[in-house]
Amino acid sequence: MKKPAAPSGSQGGLSRRALLGGTAAATALASLDVSARAAPAPTRPFELAEATVAELQAAMQSGEHTARGLAERYLARIADLDAREHLPLRSVIELNPDALATAAALDRERREKGARGPLHGIPVLIKDNIATADRMQTTGGSLALVGARPPRDAFIVERLRAAGAVILGKTNLSEWANFRSTRSASGWSARGGQTRNPYALDRTPSGSSSGSGTATAANLCAVSVGTETDGSIVSPSAASALVGLKPTVGLVSRSGIIPISHSQDTAGPMARTVADAAALLSVLAGVDPADAATAASKGKAHADYTRFLDPDGLKGARIGVPRERFFGYHPATDARVEEALALMKSRGAILVDPAPIPSAARLDAPELEVLLYEFKAGLEAYLATLPEGTAPRTLAALIRYNEAHADAELPYFGQEILHMAQAKGPLTDKAYLKALQACRRLSRAQGLDAVMKQHKLDALVAPTQAPAGLIDPINGDHWLGSSSTPAAVSGYPSITVPAGFVHGLPVGLSFMGRAWSEPVLLKLAYAYEQASKHRRPPTFAQTADLRGRAGATSRPATP
C-alpha cells in the first residue's frame, strides 16, 4: 500500500489515503542515511542493460549466453549496485543460494530437450511477501517472521519454476506492505532497511513493492514480481520509469502471499517494457484450487498475453479522461500527461474528455474499513500455516513482538494501523459487510462500469501519481495524489507506462479498464509505449535535477 494524501478539495477526515499508502537492526538504521553523499553513477558498463526477455531468450538460444551466465552477470550487478557502501540501493533483501545451480540445470535441459518457454533461464526477482519453500526467507520485511519457513511455494512461484525462470532472490518492501503505520516511509523494513529511488537516491522508491521497482529499473534482474492492494505495483513502477501491471483480482493466485485484503490483493508484473510485462503475466496467470477467486478467471485468462501487443492499438480506441480528482495536484505531471493525450490522439485514439468517475470521491472511507477487517483475518490465517513456535500466531502477538523489539522494529514510526485492525471483529460484523457492499457498489456499478458504459470506453487514462517525494523517516511519506484507487477497490486491472520526467524524476500514465480487460490495456499501453519511448535507465543521481524547467531532462549514458 501507499499513503497518498487526498487531492486538493476532497473530503477531510481519517481516510485510507491518509493512512496507507537476516539484516541486523543496526543495518536497517544505518540505511536511513539519505543525505546526498552518494557516489556518482557507476562508470562500468553493464552488457545486459535494458535487455528484454525476448533478447535474453534469443541470446541463450543462439549460444551467446547461458542461463548460468546471465544469472552470474545479474548477481554481480546486484553486488556492485545494491549494497556497496556509497550506493546502497537496498532493493534486494536476500539472494537465492540455489540460483546458479538452478540456472545450470536449465542450461542442461535446454541442450537436451529445448526451452520450456519464453521465461526459460530468465532471471527474476520476487517480493519478500511471496512464499518460497526453499533456503530463502519469507518475511514481509519483518524480523518477526525470520526463521518461519512456509510449508510450500506460493502458487505463482510454482508457476515461475515450472516455466523455467531463475529466481535470483527476494526484494525489499515497505514492511507489511506498508500497512503498519500512519507515518511510514515507503521502502523501509526492519529487515531490509531503506530502499532508495535509483533516479534520485534521496527520493522515495514509492509503494510497497519498492524493492521490485528499484531493482528492475536498475537492471538487477530481467523482470520482477510485485504485489498490490492499492497502488503498490503501479506506484513504484511509475516512480522508476517502469511498466507495472495490476491484474484483475482472481487472474493471478494469492495463495502463499502474505495478505492485506482478499478483496483487493493481487500479484503482478513489473518490467521495463510492456512486452516483458505481458510475457511475465502469461506465466503468473492461472487457476489455483487454493485461491477461490481464481475460479472466475477460467475462460477469461490467456496463455500468451504477448499476442495482444499492437503498435497501432490506439487507432479507434475510445479513451476517457477522468480529470476530476485525478488531475490538478501537480502541474508538471499534468503537463506530461497532456503531451501523452495529444500523442494518443495523433495515433488515432478517440478521447472522451472529461469522463469523470462518478463515485471516486466516496471510496476512501469504506475501503479503509474493509482493509482493516480483512487484514486481521487474512494475516492470522496466513500465520496459522507457519510452523508452530516460529512466528507470532495472531495480530495481537505481532503487535507485542514489535513492542518488545522496538529498537529494531519501531525506531522511526509506529504500528497504528495494526492497532486499528486489531480492534476489528470477525468478517461477519455488520460494519464490515456494509463497507464491503459500499466498496463494490461505488467502485463498480456506480464507478468504473458506469463511466465506461456511459461513454462506450475501452479504457480510462490518468496520471499515475506525482513525482517521487523525499525520503522522510521522521514525518513519513508526502503524497499529493494518485489514480490507483478505483481499479484497486473494484478489483479491475490497471497498467502504468512511463510518461516522461519532471526534474529527472519519472512520472507514469495509468490505463484502467473493466474486469478481465488485460488484453485491451496491454494493446493500448504497448501502442503508447512504442509511440512515446519514454523509458530510460536511472542515473543514480544524488538528488533531483532542479536546474531548468520541470520537463527539462538530459539523456545520460546507461551505467
Reported as a single tens digit per residue, the pLDDT across 75-98 is: 999 999 997 666 689 999 999 999
Residue 116 makes CB contacts below 8 A (sequence gap 6+) with: 109, 162, 163, 164
| CA dihedral sign, ordered 111, 115, 118, 121 | negative
Residue with cell 503508447: 528
Determine contact, residues 466/479, Cβ cutoff 8 Å: yes
d(CA 300, CA 279): 17
Dihedral angle, C-alpha 98, 101, 105, 108, nearest 10 °? 160
- For the chain, the average pLDDT equals 92
pLDDT at 44: 74
Determine contact, residues 96/169, Cβ cutoff 8 Å: yes
pLDDT at 18: 36
d(CA 403, CA 420): 16
Reported as a single tens digit per residue, the pLDDT across 420-445 is: 999 999 999 999 999 999 999 999 99
Reported as a single tens digit per residue, the pLDDT across 207-249 is: 999 999 999 999 999 999 999 999 999 999 999 999 999 999 9
pLDDT > 90 in the chain, percent: 88
Reported as a single tens digit per residue, the pLDDT across 249-288 is: 999 999 999 999 999 999 999 999 999 999 999 999 999 9
pLDDT at 402: 98
How confident is residue 27, by pLDDT bands cut at 50, 70 and 90? very low
pLDDT at 117: 98
Residue with cell 541463450: 60
How confident is residue 549, by pLDDT bands cut at 50, 70 and 90? low
d(CA 31, CA 518): 38
pLDDT at 438: 98
Q: Which three cell numbers stand for residue 295?
A: 475460479
Q: Any idea which of 235-239, 357-361, 547-551 has the lowest mean pLDDT?
A: 547-551
Determine contact, residues 542/36, Cβ cutoff 8 Å: yes
Between 37 and 462, where is the model more confident?
462
Q: Is the pLDDT of residue 31 over 80?
A: no
Question: What would the DSSP string read from start to end of 58-108?
Answer: HHHHHTS--HHHHHHHHHHHHHHHTSSTT-----EEEE-TTHHHHHHHHHH
Reported as a single tens digit per residue, the pLDDT across 376-419 is: 999 999 999 999 999 999 999 999 999 999 999 999 999 999 99
Identify any residues that bridge with 225 across adjacent strands, giving them in sequence order.
Answer: 126, 269
SS3 sequence of 294-354: HHHHCCCCCCCHHHHCCCCCCCCCEEECCHHHHCCCCHHHHHHHHHHHHHHHHCCCEEECC
Alpha helices (H) along 362-455 = 364-383, 395-404, 406-409, 416-422, 430-440, 449-455
pLDDT at 12: 33
Phi then psi for residue 460, to 5 deg, are: -115, 150
pLDDT at 45: 87
The predicted model scores a pTM of 0.93
DSSP secondary structure letter of residue 448: I
Q: Is the pLDDT of residue 61 over 60?
A: yes
Determine contact, residues 295/192, Cβ cutoff 8 Å: no
pLDDT at 6: 34
How confident is residue 5, by pLDDT bands cut at 50, 70 and 90? very low
Say if strands 92-95 and 350-352 run parallel, antiparallel, or are unpaired. unpaired
Omega before 354 within 30 of 0, i.e. cis: yes
d(CA 398, CA 231): 25
d(CA 551, CA 500): 8
Catalytic (active-site) positions: 127, 208, 232
d(CA 110, CA 165): 13
CATH 3.90.1300.10 at 16-38+52-532, yes or no: yes
Reported as a single tens digit per residue, the pLDDT across 447-481 is: 999 999 999 999 999 999 999 999 999 999 999 99
Reported as a single tens digit per residue, the pLDDT across 279-292 is: 999 999 999 999 99
